[in-house]
Amino acid sequence: MKTHSNEREISIRANQLTKQYGDFIAANAISFEVYQGEIFGFLGANGAGKTTAMRMLCGLSTPSSGSATIAGFDVYKQTEQIKENIGYMSQKFSLYEDLTVLENIRFYGGIYGLSRNELKEKSAALIDRLGLQGEAHKLVASLPLGWKQKLAFSVAVLHQPRIVFLDEPTGGVDPVTRRQFWDLIYQAAEQGVTIFVTTHYMDEAEYCNRISIMVDGRIAALDTPHNLKQQFQVGSMDEVFYHLAREAKRIES
Amino acid sequence: MTQFTTFIKKEFYHVLRDRKTLLILFGMPVVQILIFGFALTNEVKNSKIVIVDEAKDEASTEIIGKIEASRYFEIEKVVANRQQIETAFKEGKVKAAILFPANFSKDLQHQNKAQVQIIADATDPNNATALTNYLSSIVQDYQSELNQPQAVPYRIIPETRMLYNPQLKGAHNFVPGVMAMVLMLVCVMMTAISIVKEKETGTMEVLLVSPFKPVLVILSKAIPYLILSLFNVASILLLSVFVLDLPINGSLLLLLAESTLFIITCLTLGIFISIKTESQQTAMLISLMGMLLPTMLFSGFMFPIENMPMPLQVISNIIPAKWYYIIVKAVMIKGLGFEAIWKETLILLGITLFLFAISLKSFKIRLA
């Protein structure tokens, strides 16, 4: 595990990053920095450009202009290295329902190139940590939603990435389970993993170290939740978000 | 390489755990072979026939004996007068009747000319034509036996030989057709669905973010279906040899190699569909309507292509199953070697490469 010897080590750096589809500018010159071990919230209404930005950072799509480095690797030239150093969890939890817990762990570990021994060790440790000993050989389809979600997250960080991208990881999950899920995120961050998370839930935004709010393809605000509330002189993140999002001109797609 | 095997192992879990898919995969070829082999046959066998023998003489008895010996007919009853023919037809069981008028032998001997009437139930015209042809040829057969001692000058005796399929078995026609159809269905539809399913469940995204190469994702999806399809080919061949008595006349190795080529064609087609579609239903519909229907219509298996209007004949050329059907018929039934089918093989290879190229191109566009 990486230690956070240097809190200010930059993990993600985006500079004037832009993605344009014809006349439509999905992400317009976004710039920000995320530090190693930080929990960075990425907020925005639907269609604000969150997904586009995240896809560029994951090496899934090439930016139209601007620059970005992920864990020190360039998004244009070093997508292979980027992919080896990041983890990803989508809003659909992305586990195979017709595979058992253990098979899912081994599959995802396997495609990240973990060796047989590593896999054996890590999957046993993971199952212990999540308390899934009794369910290891059950199909994922039979697990409750909260467990699937925790499993999906643990699988996403199994190969010890330096950064993990979470795309609306808590969609459709009740608040109690969501709280437990965030405990996992804190644990990972404490071990030095950078967390880049998009969400629609404002209570989750409060859990982040810093958040950015995207409106119409631009970053409209970026700071700690505390500072943002002060800046807009409101009592909750909900109001901050509403304040910014109502100025949006783009029609929700 | 371990990444690759991990992935293929996972694909096998998917297939083996989905009972419905398994049933389609392995049940379908067997059911199709059995249906086409035993139920949907257009062969004329054991048709019930009524014989009206008003003559009851030497000649009529001999012809009746020949009819009885033929495997095409089964004599329902021999009646004495023609009024009973209609009742027999109306009962519906009888498909044909033959009537020997009184003095049949006598007329034949004294006037060198006698009449015999053949009546067939023409509600099914093809069947009726076949039956009357068989009956006429039995009568003709008897006639030429009679004529043998005498020297009749100027006689043309057509000698008909049914090449490659002397017994006119339907199996010769449909086994290659069923092979093309099953492979088309399994490879195109199953591959397309299995890839689109990953898109639907969001797992495709995770795979694309992983260091596992996108092209390898697609390839490792295709390989399990290649293996399963080869099982299907084997089971169809075993059924046709041991259940339908249809031997493989040509080289088995060549047949398997050509089948592998066709399977790869179908797999690339399935991959192409999966790249272009977003939901399992769409993928299934396109595979069924867009692939299976043209395969049935244009492969030449159900309807002869030569009889189609020119534009349709041209269209049939882009249907991969048509070429595979020609190849299988040539190798399996005619027992021909590679030199007879290299053109068709080349065309199939060309279609495959073309499909592969456009799949790869659209896959890259999608990723960008």
Predicted confidence at residue A1, as pLDDT, reads 40
* Residue B277: CA count within 13 A, CB half-sphere: 23
Distance from CA of A55 to the nearest CA of B (A): 9
Report yes or no on A46 lying in a domain: yes
Predicted confidence at residue B41, as pLDDT, reads 62
Report yes or no on A137 lying in a domain: no
A62 near A56, Cβ under 8 Å?
Answer: yes
Instruction: Specify the pTM.
Output: 0.78
Helices (H), chain B: 2-17, 19-22, 28-34, 58-69, 83-91, 104-110, 125-147, 171-183, 191-201, 203-209, 214-242, 252-276, 280-285, 293-298, 310-316, 320-328, 338-367
Point out the least confidently predicted range of A62-76, B15-29, B332-346. B15-29
Report yes or no on A14 lying in a domain: yes
Name chain B contacts of A142, Cβ cutoff 8 Å. Answer: none
Mutate to test the interface with A, among B209, B215, B217, B365 (most CBs of A within 10 A): B209
Report yes or no on A180 lying in a domain: yes
Closest by alpha carbon to B270, among B223, B208, B325? B223
Question: What is the C-alpha separation between B154 and B144, in angstroms, rounded?
Answer: 14
Strand A39-44, strand A210-215: pairing: parallel
Q: Do B10 and A107 touch (CB under 8 A)?
A: yes
Question: What is the C-alpha separation between B340 and B337, in angstroms, rounded?
Answer: 6
Angle at B64 between CA B63 and CA B69, to 5 degrees: 100
Residue A100's φ and ψ, nearest 5 degrees, are -75, 170
Q: Is the pLDDT of residue B298 over 90?
A: no
Q: Do B211 and A59 touch (CB under 8 A)?
A: no
Q: Is A211 left (phi over 0), alpha (psi -120 to 50) or beta?
A: beta
Nearest chain B alpha carbon to A107? B6
pLDDT digits (tens, 9 = 90+) for A76-135: 999 889 999 999 998 877 899 999 999 999 999 999 988 889 999 999 999 998 888 899
Out of B14, B210, B212, the one facing A98 most closely (by C-beta) is B14
Question: What is the C-alpha separation between B84 and B119, in angstroms, rounded?
Answer: 13
Nearest chain B alpha carbon to A92? B202
Q: What is the average pLDDT across B139-155?
A: 72
Q: Do A111 and B7 touch (CB under 8 A)?
A: yes
**DSSP string covering B211-269, please?**
SS-HHHHHHHHHHHHHHHHHHHHHHHHHHHHHTS-----S-HHHHHHHHHHHHHHHHHH
Q: What is the average pLDDT across B288-314?
A: 84
Strand B96-100, strand A65-70: pairing: unpaired
Q: Do B17 and A98 touch (CB under 8 A)?
A: yes
Tokens of B32: 């199709």
Residue B34: band (very low, low, confident or very high) from pLDDT cuts 50, 70, 90? confident
Predicted confidence at residue A99, as pLDDT, reads 93
Q: Do B3 and A111 touch (CB under 8 A)?
A: yes
Distance from CA of A169 to the nearest CA of B (A): 12
Residue A36: band (very low, low, confident or very high) from pLDDT cuts 50, 70, 90? very high
Report yes or no on A23 lying in a domain: yes
Under 8 Å CB pairs connecting chains A and B tally to 76
Q: Please give the mean pLDDT across all residues of chain B.
A: 85
Closest by alpha carbon to A93, among A141, A26, A38? A141
Burial of residue A117, with CB atoms counted within 10 A of its CB: 0-12 exposed, 13-18 middle, 19 or more buried: exposed
Distance from CA of B361 to the nearest CA of A (A): 16
Report yes or no on A116 lying in a domain: no
Residue A175: band (very low, low, confident or very high) from pLDDT cuts 50, 70, 90? confident
Q: Is the pLDDT of residue A151 over 60?
A: yes
Instruction: Name A201's Cβ contacts closer than 8 Å, sequence gap at least 6.
Output: A170, A178
Nearest chain B alpha carbon to A111? B3
Nearest chain B alpha carbon to A153? B206
Predicted confidence at residue B368, as pLDDT, reads 54
- Identify residue A248 by its one-letter amino acid code: A
Q: What is the average pLDDT across A21-30?
A: 90
Closest by alpha carbon to B258, among B356, B178, B341? B341
Out of B2, B10, B209, the one facing A60 most closely (by C-beta) is B209
Mutate to test the interface with A, among B9, B206, B215 (most CBs of A within 10 A): B206
CATH of the domain at A170: 3.40.50.300
Nearest chain A alpha carbon to B213? A80
Q: Do A112 and B210 touch (CB under 8 A)?
A: yes
Which residues of A have a CB under 8 Å from any CB of B? 58-62, 80, 83-84, 86, 88-99, 103, 106-108, 110-113, 115-116, 156, 165
Distance from CA of B210 to the nearest CA of A (A): 6
Name chain B contacts of A88, Cβ cutoff 8 Å. Answer: 205-206, 209-210
Residue B171: band (very low, low, confident or very high) from pLDDT cuts 50, 70, 90? low
Q: Is the pLDDT of residue A212 over 90?
A: yes
Distance from CA of A44 to the nearest CA of B (A): 21
Question: What is the C-alpha separation between A40 and B140, in angstroms, rounded?
Answer: 95
Nearest chain B alpha carbon to A95? B203
- Residue predicted with more confidence, A226 or B110: A226
Nearest chain B alpha carbon to A61? B368
Q: Do B7 and A84 touch (CB under 8 A)?
A: no
pLDDT digits (tens, 9 = 90+) for B173-209: 788 888 888 888 888 888 898 889 988 888 888 888 8
Strands lying side by side in the sheet with A86-89: A86-89, A163-167, A194-198, A39-44, A210-215, A218-223
Residue A15: band (very low, low, confident or very high) from pLDDT cuts 50, 70, 90? very high
Report yes or no on A122 lying in a domain: no
A188 near A165, Cβ under 8 Å?
Answer: no
Query: Domains in chain A: how many in total?
Result: 1
Name chain B contacts of A98, Cβ cutoff 8 Å. Answer: 13-14, 17-18
pLDDT digits (tens, 9 = 90+) for B211-220: 888 888 888 8
Instruction: Name B159's Cβ contacts closer than 8 Å, sequence gap at least 6.
Output: none
pLDDT digits (tens, 9 = 90+) for B72-113: 888 888 887 778 888 888 887 888 888 888 888 888 888 878
Predicted confidence at residue B43, as pLDDT, reads 64
Q: Do A80 and B211 touch (CB under 8 A)?
A: yes
Tokens of A246: 């109502």
Q: What is the average pLDDT across A137-160?
A: 91
A218: containing domain: 10-90+164-245
pLDDT digits (tens, 9 = 90+) for B261-281: 999 999 999 999 998 888 889
Question: What is the C-alpha separation between B226 and B224, in angstroms, rounded?
Answer: 5
Report yes or no on A118 lying in a domain: no
Beta bridge partners of A86: A163
Predicted confidence at residue A44, as pLDDT, reads 85
Name chain A contacts of B212, Cβ cutoff 8 Å. Answer: 111-112
Distance from CA of A83 to the nearest CA of B (A): 5
Predicted confidence at residue A253, as pLDDT, reads 44
Predicted confidence at residue B257, as pLDDT, reads 95
Other CB atoms within a 10 A radius of the CB of residue A249 amount to 6
Point out the least confidently predicted range of A27-36, A47-56, A65-74, B147-156. B147-156
- Residue predicted with more confidence, B297 or A2: B297
Name chain B contacts of A60, Cβ cutoff 8 Å. Answer: 208-209, 367
A10 near A31, Cβ under 8 Å?
Answer: no
Name chain A contacts of B14, Cβ cutoff 8 Å. Answer: 96, 98-99
- Residue predicted with more confidence, A4 or B346: B346
